Structure 1
């Protein structure tokens, strides 16, 4: 039911909002530890290698070290703002995608335009969702980035208040330009690839219905492809979001300083090499595969459940 179709006629815009928010909540609850690992890797200037200078050396090492130093709960650090981020993003993204594809359907375009339609509507939906949810992303990143032994923020409300008071409103949107550059092709590719792989799956198994299996397979492949393409911009966004936050990073090694997107990407390349632009890619790909599969499949299941109630 992702995208306007005959089967989505029974659903209202409120139904799409509920399904989008529900899928965001479920996905975030299950995948938050992967996000914490990804952010910690992205913010580490030192190489992710077995070396005395590296705080985190691998996915397993980082997981064990976080649990040892900060406790199991640290793997869900920043979970509340992350949930607010995921729910608001899910609502805005899926709702706007459904509205946009419904409007485009009135043009009666050839089916050959479907991939481009899905890409364009997905890109616009991603940008709208980013604008609506971005302040939660900044606060979430700050909470995940800070050390338990040198806490700057005690919680989400205090973080928002402190940022607004000491750094200003626009800091809540710091890093939004690389995010837009990242999100537009990423969201577009996600929706386009999901619909494409879903169609291929249906053709291979000779079925006309989208099932839980087809959603999981299509979502996994869409997440893998889309994340790899835009990953350097996601890394740059995280580096920009912690500028001016040195006091919370005392125990995490060298602090990375930059001025804007271009300077950030150039400095990463000069200091950390080409591989530095893909630092944290492994947990990020694991997260992308799992979260995209869960996001689309849970959205489909919630939509189908809501549709059945209207029968």
Structure 2
């Protein structure tokens, strides 16, 4: 169901938008704690090892420490803007992918070039979704990054108004360059790999429709491949989004300062080494596997449900 095909003609563009938004909501609600852990790891300059100067040592240690210091609710910190982000992103991404693949289908390209076409459509769809949802990502990152003992923002609305008043509108798009550079290959790889693995599963099981198991397996593998390829850019984006936010990071160790994408990547490599570019990769991969599997499978199932209601 992901991507245009003759079986999806019964669904309207509104149906695709609804399915995309609903899949984003479901995925975010379940996987938000993994996102909180990933962001905390990405923003820690010190090594993520059992070290006296390091705030967080591992996924288990970080989870226990966050619950101990900030409560269980802290694992869903920034959930409201994150939900708005996910719903907005899901609507824009899946809707635009369906539109683009439908237009591409009219070109009657060779099946050999279908993966490339899916990559291109996915890349453009990802960039479109990012542009629409990016301000919510900045606010979400700020809320997750701040300490409960040194809170700068009390909630989503205050974060938005404070950033606009004190830092300006453009700050809501700080980190957009590495995000675009990251999102295009990430979304392209994600959609391309999903379709490839989906077709392999259908061929292996001799089936013509996408089952829930097929969608979960294909989605998890697609998320694993895509996230590994672009991870350093995701890390740089998070570091750039907290520039000027020193007050909210007082208890988290050294504050990382940078001046743009190139300087950010260079300083991470210089201070933290090559592996520093992949800091937080473990929870990020766990998150990518679960979120991508949930995102695609819930979208597929919702589309199939909507299609069945029209028969």
- TM-score of the superposition, structure 2-length normalised? 1.00
Q: Deviations over 1:250-271 (max 9, x none)?
A: 0000000000000000000000
Q: Which aligned runs of 4 or more in structure 1 are off by greater than 2 angstroms?
A: none
Where in structure 2 are the equivalents of 1:11-90 lying within 5 Å?
11-90=11-90
**Which residue number corresponds to residue 247 of structure 2?**
247
Q: Does 1:130 align with 2:130?
A: yes
Structure 2 segments unaligned to the other structure (5+ residues): none
**Which residue number corresponds to residue 10 of structure 1?**
10
Per the TM alignment, residue 113 of structure 1 is displaced from its structure 2 partner at its CA by 1.1
Q: Does 1:204 align with 2:204?
A: yes
**Which residue number corresponds to residue 176 of structure 2?**
176
Per the TM alignment, residue 209 of structure 1 is displaced from its structure 2 partner at its CA by 1.0
Per the TM alignment, residue 206 of structure 1 is displaced from its structure 2 partner at its CA by 1.2
Structure 1 segments unaligned to the other structure (5+ residues): none
Where in structure 2 are the equivalents of 1:224-243 lying within 5 Å?
224-243=224-243
Q: Whole-Å Cα distance in 1 between the matches of residues 201 and 16 of structure 2?
A: 24
Q: Does 1:195 align with 2:217?
A: no
Q: Whole-Å Cα distance in 1 between the matches of residues 82 and 307 of structure 2?
A: 29
Q: Whole-Å Cα distance in 1 between the matches of residues 20 and 214 of structure 2?
A: 19
Per the TM alignment, residue 149 of structure 1 is displaced from its structure 2 partner at its CA by 0.5
Per the TM alignment, residue 241 of structure 1 is displaced from its structure 2 partner at its CA by 0.1
Q: Whole-Å Cα distance in 1 between the matches of residues 277 and 104 of structure 2?
A: 37
**SS state at 2:243 partner:** coil
Where in structure 2 are the equivalents of 1:125-164 lying within 5 Å?
125-164=125-164
Q: Deviations over 1:52-88 (max 9, x none)?
A: 1000000000000000000000000000000000000
Per the TM alignment, residue 247 of structure 1 is displaced from its structure 2 partner at its CA by 0.2
Q: Whole-Å Cα distance in 2 between the matches of residues 275 and 136 of structure 1?
A: 29
- TM-score of the superposition, structure 1-length normalised? 1.00
Q: Whole-Å Cα distance in 1 between the matches of residues 194 and 82 of structure 2?
A: 24
Q: Whole-Å Cα distance in 1 between the matches of residues 133 and 159 of structure 2?
A: 16
